[in-house]
Amino acid sequence: MLPTLRQLQYLKLLVEHGGFGKAAEAAHVTQPTLSAGIQELEKILGAPVVDRARSGLILTDVGEAALAKAQVILNEADELVQAARSAGQPLTGRFRLGVIPTIAPFLLPRALPLLRSRFPDLRLYLREDLTQRLIAALKSGHLDAALIALPFDMTGLDSAHVAHDEILAALPASHPLAGQARTRPSELEDGDLILLEDGHCLRDHALAACGLRPPRQSDSEATFAATSLPTLVQMVGSGLGVTFLPSMAVAAGLTEGTSIEVRPLQAEDPTREIVVAWRSGSIRGVEGRLLAETLREA
């Protein structure tokens, strides 16, 4: 005998709400019904899934493993229902899209009106986060697709191209290199190079495209890192150093009203590729490709 979706849902709600009473309310069943469902799940698995301690519920090792599998199975089942309801009508109903912070504020304002007009029945739920966490959410079934930048490890994922985004040099207007038509990356490395903090893929993309290593921080010399592109722009505009910016952000007006000069990089291919990614084999793949096609027009 196999666990039912209802039993797995009971386990998930039990952990989320921390008690049988509240979990039963969330499941719209009585507490004895939910308790019986958990007991039946334990009977099927051959081991307890929770310890009922005075301090609250504690998952056993079997319970931890069961919960991890339950979340994936429930998300897959929900995806199946959503896809069936929108059969023949892609991008209708709920669609959960993750977007990285170095894309979201610059592409979405142009893309969302187009998506709304073209797919009026689409209910788009957006989550902005770093690439690594979006990919984890995508693989666990918490997202249907993610708008990210390559290169990145795409094992277990498929993708559709949206755009190539050029990486540009950004310097204070008073910087000696600001008068040049193009900037060699090595010249920026010799200065006070400011980058986004670790975890932002744009940091790695810019360094890789320019053949540079991350700046080192020694005991005697502090280096700066920014948490967002607007913060990065303000730091460069204040004369604290130089940086790299995606052309998508510059075109959206990120540097307008600042004392910053933007110059092309004299490098072989200083770009990142913007793609829509989804789980390999996912039934949302058709919608992922359609979403990428629409974003290319934005």
pTM for the whole thing?
Answer: 0.75
pLDDT above 70 as % of the chain? 93
Check residue 220 and give its pLDDT: 37
- Shared-domain flag, residues 191 and 68: no
Q: Give the distance, in angstroms, between the CA of residue 255 and the centroid of all CA atoms in the same chain.
A: 24
- Shared-domain flag, residues 246 and 282: yes
- Shared-domain flag, residues 169 and 288: yes
Neighbours of 151 (CB within 10 A): 12
241-271 b/e with 16+ CB inside 10 Å = b? bbbbbbbbbbeeebbeeeebbbbebbbeebb
Q: Which of 282, 270, 276, 271 is nearest to 294 (CA)?
A: 276
- Shared-domain flag, residues 59 and 169: no
- Shared-domain flag, residues 238 and 192: yes
- Shared-domain flag, residues 55 and 171: no
pLDDT per residue as tens digits for the range 56-74: 678 889 999 999 889 888 8
Q: Is residue 108's pLDDT more than 50?
A: yes
| Count: domains in the chain | 2
Check residue 219 and give its pLDDT: 39
Q: What is the CATH number of the domain that holds 61?
A: 1.10.10.10
Check residue 139 and give its pLDDT: 87
- Shared-domain flag, residues 111 and 12: no
Per-residue confidence at 281, pLDDT binned at 50, 70, 90?
confident
Q: What is the CATH number of the domain that holds 260?
A: 3.40.190.290
Lowest-confidence segment of 66-70, 126-130, 217-221 by average pLDDT: 217-221
**Which structural domain range is residue 70 located in?**
5-84
- Shared-domain flag, residues 67 and 195: no
Q: Is residue 140's pLDDT more than 90?
A: no
What's the whole-number mean pLDDT along residues 218-230?
67
Per-residue confidence at 77, pLDDT binned at 50, 70, 90?
confident
Q: Give the distance, in angstroms, between the CA of residue 23 and the centroid of all CA atoms in the same chain.
A: 29
Check residue 131 and give its pLDDT: 95
